[in-house]
């Protein structure tokens, strides 16, 4: 009973909801970058929430199933086929032993997710099956999948069934310019008011340096307020005394290329952060790709919490509808 990796794609990793409780010793959470696509995938195939699935980027993997199962492809807009026959996205599909799942050229978004009935059986490391490639821990051997790997389905199936389909209204669309809502703050006072305005006025372009660690953008230059640097920070105006970085926080080393830190990022350091992308919008960010445009929209804490509650209610409704 296994799933054979015929072609791993660009970087396909095993991910779950993430590894929590170890941030203070330097473990970022890892886990699926687009948590909506990941959670809906599990709901579609009838898995318990938190079952491990596959996250790919730009190129989907080619997988051969040696056992009958149920799968669902969610996330990016990408043609998916079983033995060459197109299968729908955002819908659970029966797979017979011997069939091969393959992907065509992505047309929207960036990251396809593959949920498999039962999840994927890899050891839990520090409480999670998520892959953290930087130190080679978690997931499948601490690394992205490689040709010839054999994945074993897990035991997180609750009610596997083909033919469950996400309502059209709930299927996300990926606009030309992604809008990421963020709370300005933390060390935003280090930037000139002009620069802070420029940050939210600019349609930033995603650079090729965009992965699970973080996304780097180009599009404008930002300036720091001149000051005598405090003891311990170091002499660069972009530096502060080293501190913790929230997941989703935005830093601007050198003032030229803002970086949004993601689920595999460093947990702390000495760059001034100007704000934090709200947690729900990391899903949107995960579906942007190199060359795409992104705009940052300032929200306050109450709006951020409303966005979070709305998303939780939507997922509850989807899970109920699909169960």
Partner 1 sequence: MAHTITAKTPGVFYRKPSPDAEPYVADGATVAEGDVIGLIEVMKTFREVKADAAGTVATWHVADEDEVSIGQELVELDT
Partner 2 sequence: MAVETGEAGIRYDHGGDEFVYAEVSTAMSLPAHFTALAITRRLAQEAIAGVEEICPSNASYMVRVDPDRIHPRDLVRELRRIESEVGDAASADPSFTIATRIVDVPIMLNDPWTHEVLMKFRDRHQDPEGTDLDYGARINGYDTTEAFIDALAGSPYLVTMMGFVPGLPWCFQLVPRERQVEVPKYVRPRTETPERAFGFGGAFAVIYPVKGAGGYQLFGSAPAPIFDAAQEQPDFAENDSVVFFRHGDVINFRRVDEAGYDEVREQVAAKRWRYRTAPVEFSPSRFLADPDGTNAAMLEALYS
Please report, as ranges, the residues that interact with partner 2 according to CB under 8 A: 20-27, 126, 134-137, 142, 182-183, 185-186, 225-236, 239-244, 246-249, 253-254, 266-270, 273, 276-279, 301, 304-305, 307-308, 312
Neighbouring residues of 314: CB distance < 8 A, sequence distance ≥ 6: 170
- List the single partner that 260 binds among partner 2, partner 1, none, CB under 5 to 8 Å by kind: none
Q: Is the dihedral of CA 287, 289, 291, 295 positive or negative?
A: positive
Among partner 1, partner 2, none, residue 322 binds (CB under 5-8 Å by kind): none
Cite the DSSP H helix spans in the chain: 35-45, 193-201, 282-286, 301-322
Query: Rounded to whole angstroms, how far apart are CA atoms 182 and 155?
Result: 38
Calculated CA dihedral for residues 228, 232, 234, 239, nearest 10 degrees: -80
In whole angstroms, how close is the CB of 292 to partner 1 at the nearest point?
A: 8
Question: Which C-beta is closer to partner 2: that of 220 or that of 307?
Answer: 307
Among 211, 267, 279, 298, binds partner 1 (CB under 8 A): 211
Question: Using the rule CB under 8 A, is 208 a contact of partner 1?
Answer: yes
Q: Are 103 and 10 in contact (CB under 8 A)?
A: no
β-pair type (177-184, 273-277)? antiparallel
Q: Which residue has the tokens 């930037």?
A: 191
The reply to whether 209 sits near partner 1 by the rule CB under 8 A is: yes
111 is a site residue for partner 1 (CB under 8 A): no
Site string for partner 1, 279-298 (x = CB under 8 A): ----------xxx-------
Min dist CB 320 to partner 2, Å, is 18
From the list partner 2, partner 1, none, partner contacted by residue 26 (C-beta under 5 to 8 A by kind)? partner 2
Contacts of 236 (CB under 8 A, 6+ apart): 229, 254
Indicate whether 62 belongs to the interface with partner 1 (CB under 8 A).
Answer: no
**Residue 137 binding: pick among partner 1, partner 2, none (C-beta 5-8 Å cut-off by kind):** partner 2
Are 182 and 276 in contact by the 8 Å Cβ rule? The answer is: yes
> Least distance (Å) from partner 2 to the CB of residue 79?
35
**Longest distance between any two alpha carbons in the chain, whole Å:** 67
Please identify which residue in the block is written with the tokens 């947690």: 279
Q: Which is nearer to partner 2, 3 or 260 (CB)?
A: 260
Structure tokens at 78: 């990408």
Question: Which residue lies nearer to partner 1 by CB, 211 or 298?
Answer: 211
In the window 76-105, what residues touch partner 1 (CB under 8 A)?
Answer: 105
Q: Which helix (H) or strand (E) holds 255?
A: none
- Rounded to a whole number of angstroms, the minimum distance from the CB of residue 251 to partner 1 is 18
101-125 burial string, b = 16+ CB within 10 Å, else e?
bbbeebeebbbbbbbbbbbbbbeeb
Out of partner 1, partner 2, none, which partner does residue 86 contact, by CB within 5 to 8 A per kind? none
Contact between 34 and partner 1 (CB under 8 A)? no
Phi, psi of 186 (to 5 degrees): 60, -100
Q: Does residue 132 interact with partner 1 by CB under 8 A?
A: no
Instruction: For residue 214, give every residue at least 6 positions away whose Cβ sits within 8 Å of its Cβ, in sequence order, or none.
Output: 259, 260, 261, 262, 265
Q: Which is nearer to partner 2, 23 or 174 (CB)?
A: 23
Residues near partner 1 (CB under 8 A) are 10-11, 57-59, 105-107, 208-211, 289-291
């Amino acid at each position: 009973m296994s799933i054979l990796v015929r072609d791993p794609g660009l970087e396909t990793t095993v991910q779950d909801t993430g590894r929590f409780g170890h941030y203070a010793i330097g473990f970022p959470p890892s886990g699926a970058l687009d948590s909506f696509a990941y959670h809906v995938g599990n709901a579609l195939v009838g898995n318990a929430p938190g079952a491990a699935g596959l996250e790919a980027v730009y190129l989907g993997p080619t997988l051969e199933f040696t056992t009958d199962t149920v799968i669902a492809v969610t996330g990016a807009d990408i043609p998916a086929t079983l033995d060459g026959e197109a299968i729908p996205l955002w819908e659970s599909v029966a797979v017979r032993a011997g069939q091969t799942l393959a992907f065509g050229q992505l047309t929207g978004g960036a990251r396809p997710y593959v949920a498999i009935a039962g999840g994927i059986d890899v050891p839990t490391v520090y409480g999670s099956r998520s892959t953290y490639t930087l130190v080679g821990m978690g997931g499948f051997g601490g690394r992205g999948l490689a040709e010839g790997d054999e994945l074993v389905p897990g035991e997180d199936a609750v009610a596997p069934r083909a033919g469950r389909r996400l309502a059209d209204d709930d299927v996300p669309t990926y606009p030309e310019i992604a809008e990421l809502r963020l709370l300005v703050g933390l060390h935003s006072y280090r930037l000139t008011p002009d620069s802070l305005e420029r940050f939210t006025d600019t349609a930033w372009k995603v650079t090729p340096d965009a992965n699970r660690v973080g996304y780097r953008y180009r599009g404008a230059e930002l300036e720091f307020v001149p000051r005598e640097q405090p003891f311990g920070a170091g002499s660069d105006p972009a530096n502060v005394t080293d501190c913790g970085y929230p997941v989703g926080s935005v830093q601007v080393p050198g003032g030229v290329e803002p970086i949004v830190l993601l689920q595999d990022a460093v947990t702390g350091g000495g760059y001034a952060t100007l704000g934090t992308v709200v947690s729900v919008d990391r899903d949107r960010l995960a579906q942007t790709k190199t060359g795409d445009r992104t705009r940052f929209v300032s929200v306050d804490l109450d709006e951020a919490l409303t966005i979070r509650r709305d998303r939780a209610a939507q997922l509850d409704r989807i899970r109920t509808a699909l169960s």
